[in-house]
Amino acid sequence: MADASNLRKAAVLLMSMSEDDAAALIAKLSPKQIEAVSIEIAKLGSVPPDEQAKTIRDFMQANPKSLTARIGGLSLAQALVDRALGDKAKDTINSVRQSVEALPFGFLKKVDPQNIQSYIIDEHPQTIALILSYLPPAYGAEIVSNLPPEKQISVIRRVAKMGQTSPEVISEVERGLEHRMANVMHQSFDMAGGVGNVAEILNVTDRATERALLDSLAEEDPELVDEIRRLMFVFEDINKLGDKDIQQVLKNVESNQWAMALKGASEQLRDKILGNMSSRAAQMLSEEMEFLGGVKRSEVESVQQQIVDIIRQMEDAGQISTAGGEEAEELVS
């Protein structure tokens, strides 16, 4: 089975192309591959332009900032399969429809997150947590960011601790949304939420919201925060990489990116990065950092996130590993 993240990337790439081009490309896949990527397209809602740019920059040479958000959904998936398979499309389309309709709250994936929030903002935090557990992380991040601060903590805590959920409860919540949104599919799953779901949401949440949530949650449940952080990879986690992996990362990140990103880094991380460079390269980077002077925190964090994204892509490609780095202890004299 294809890796879920790679399957999503393939779906985003296809839906970023014209239907003619996407259909021509999808026609080159095997029937099982067509079915898998079509299901993923049908499950997608609104894809932010920055995610599109990150997904297709290895395939496109055009300026990614010129991209606009595209909307996935069942209709687009059906159109692509129909163009690719022609008279043989019926069985695959039926399979795609059945798979999508089996997902809880699947109808919300084609609704703008702001509209979803307007319907659920007054709900009990447990109800909001249940709904967010079935939405794409990007949706959850936007909705959580716009909740009142006291409700943010309540919702995130409940998502993290949610395990088995009664199908009857899920159906009841869906029926309520059906009445108010007039666009529902009757679905039910047994599992929702969990610490992994929280980590995914926080990984695509703005840094200020992420810090505020984790700091507040740590006051009540520090062990839960530690568990969430273990499933996340943030810029300071580069400290956990081995020297060989650091050197691989250095080959894929520009010097001007390091100069900006390290302005907001710990001294330990700065030393680790500089220590894996040649003396000349380290000197030039230090001089470049001094030349920058004072910089806005938002700009620093934006570049740090770019580097984290590069590291995640390298890990997905098997070039480095971010797991187990904690075991390599620093030598002291």
User: Residue range 188-214: average pLDDT?
Assistant: 71
pTM for this model (two decimals): 0.37
- % of the chain surpassing 70 pLDDT: 76
Q: CA distances (Å), 285 to each of 274, 289, 292, 332, in order?
A: 8, 6, 11, 26
> Which segments of 192-265 does DSSP mark as H helices, in order?
195-203, 207-220, 222-230, 243-252, 255-261
Query: Which class does domain 4-102 fall in?
Result: mainly alpha
Domain(s) labelled CATH 1.10.220.30 in the chain stretch across 107-230, 235-327
Spatial contact of 37 and 14, defined as CB atoms under 8 Å apart: yes
Over 80: is that where the pLDDT of 255 sits? yes
Q: Is the dihedral of CA 216, 218, 224, 229 positive or negative?
A: positive
Please give the torsion angle defined by the CA atoms of residues 53, 10, 311 and 294, in that order, rounded to the nearest 10 degrees. Answer: 10
- % of the chain surpassing 90 pLDDT: 12
pLDDT band at 227 (very low <50, low <70, confident <90, very high): confident
Query: Does CATH place domain 107-230 in 2.40.10.170?
Result: no
- Per-residue pLDDT tens for 29-54? 887 888 888 888 887 767 777 777 67
pLDDT of residue 69: 47
DSSP conformation class of 182: S
pLDDT band at 97 (very low <50, low <70, confident <90, very high): low
Residues 6 or more apart from 167 whose CB is under 8 A from it?
A: 188, 189, 190
Burial class (CB in 10 A: 0-12, 13-18, 19+), 31: middle
pLDDT band at 223 (very low <50, low <70, confident <90, very high): confident
User: Residue range 11-28: average pLDDT?
Assistant: 77
pLDDT of residue 246: 92
Query: Which class does domain 235-327 fall in?
Result: mainly alpha
